[in-house]
Structure 1
Amino acid sequence: MKYAIVVVDVQQELVNETLYNKDNFIANIQDMLQYGRKKNLEIIYVRHDDGEGEKLTKGKPGYEIFNEIEPEEGEIVFDKSYNSIFKKTGLMEYLKEKHITNLIIMGLQTEYCIDATLKAGLEHGYRMIVPEGTITTRDNGEFTAKQLNDFYHNIIWNGRFAKVLPMDKVKELI
């Protein structure tokens, strides 16, 4: 069983003070990346492109990976224009070529791209793993970011679409 860490949509434009638990979120991603690199895991980044004229448009500063977790040499970046990281990105072909079946998913945003990614990943036969504290969002409508995170992590994902585990348990799996 080969593992890869996938960082989804942690881009300059999206990382700001409106994110729930922002500082811990970034610190936890840094910790998992450091551990994954030490264990020689494949580290994959995915960026979202909203298309021409938007803040998340290829070529604009906000589109780039957040500077505190930038890819290191040899780490691959895929671009997407759909919620799921799998749709028309080339990622599945890459994972197949590398024989990777277990994906450790971290990033933004809980109720959008992460939810779509976890569900699609399961449908495509991947074992989806979420380290606690590595996925977040912002308040949305009547729901606080904390409510959204708690609901998706504990009610929707864990045991259905993914394993949501403490970071130390994820490290033990690797």
Structure 2
Amino acid sequence: MSKQALIIIDIQNDYFEGGSFPLASPLEASINASKVLKYFRKKDLPIVHIQHLSPNGSPFMVTGTTGAEIHENVRPLEGEKIFQKNYPNSFRDTGLLDYLKDQEITELVITGMMTHMCVDATTRAANDFGFKCTVIGDACASRDLNINGKTVKADDVHHAFLSALEFFYADVISAEEFLSA
């Protein structure tokens, strides 16, 4: 029998307007993540919040700052599991894998930020660990990236990474598709 958990990755204040590292459309992504979160709460299904904390000297997500706090749209309730991490992969040097195994979770519904970094790294690792993964594409956000003097627009980065994940690692659907299934 399958058992599902929601993973909310790094939806933190620094990624929003006024933060130290704003993304493209983080508010919309957080609202869609919040809809999925409400569904999991209503069904009393497992919820895991991931919070990235950077070492001192980093430009964003610094421990003890407002920017590192989880955004109010998806703020954890008492009793919801929170893992703090220092790397893009939410499994690295955290208790996430052991927790999911202890809870007998087999499927993960993944939301969060940034699509091209922590969502990607965590989804690929989760699949490699044997979890069936669903990424809620419109509950994730990215930003413009630069390479070799060229700017790749956030929307293109976001969709390129989602399409790569859907090729093998996860089903990628919208919040509305998930909630109406």
Q: Give the TM-score normalised by structure 1.
A: 0.92
Match of 2:113 in 1: 108
Shift in Å at residue 20 of structure 1? 2.0
2:140 maps to which of 121, 124, 135: 135
- Residue 64 of structure 1 is aligned with which of 61, 65, 69? 69
CA contact (8 A) 2:13 2:67 kept: yes
Q: Give the secondary structure class of the aligned counterpart of 1:79.
A: strand
After superposing the two structures, state which structure 1 stretch, 56-65 or 109-118, moved more.
Answer: 56-65
Of 143, 147, 165, 1:157 maps to 165
Runs (4+) off by over 4 Å: none
Instruction: Output the CA distance in 2 between the equivalents of 1:168 and 1:68.
Output: 17
Letter in 2 for 1:60: T
Cα shift readout 1:93-143 (whole Å, capped 9, x = no counterpart): 000110011111101101111111111111111111112301111111111
Structure 1, residues 48-96: CA drift from partner, whole Å, max 9, x if none?
1111233322222211101222001211110011110001110000001
Corresponding letter in the other structure for 2:123: L
Distance 1:166 1:14, change over 3 A: closer
User: 2:7 is matched with which residue?
Assistant: 6
Alpha-carbon RMSD across the aligned residues, in angstroms, is: 1.6
Helix, strand or coil for the counterpart of 2:89?
coil
Cα 1:36–1:112 shift into 2, 3 Å = same
Alpha-carbon distance in 1 for matches of 2:61, 2:53: 5
Alignment of 1:89-108 (within 5 A): 89-108=94-113
Query: Among residues 31, 47, 50, which one is paired with 1:27 in the alignment?
Result: 31
| Deviation for aligned residue 1:21 | 2.5
2:47 pairs with 1:39 = no
1:53 aligns with 2:57: yes
CA distance in 2, matches of 1:109, 1:22: 9
| Range 133-142 or range 22-31, more displaced | 22-31
Instruction: For 1:140 and 1:3, locate their aligned partners in 2 and report how far apart those are by CA, in whole Å.
Output: 33
Cα pair distance change 1:28/1:78, threshold 3 Å = same
Report the TM-score, using the length of structure 2 for normalisation: 0.88
Q: CA deviation at 1:172?
A: 5.4
Gaps of 5+ in 2: none
Number of corresponding residues: 172
Greater mean alpha carbon deviation, residues 110-119 or residues 11-20: 11-20
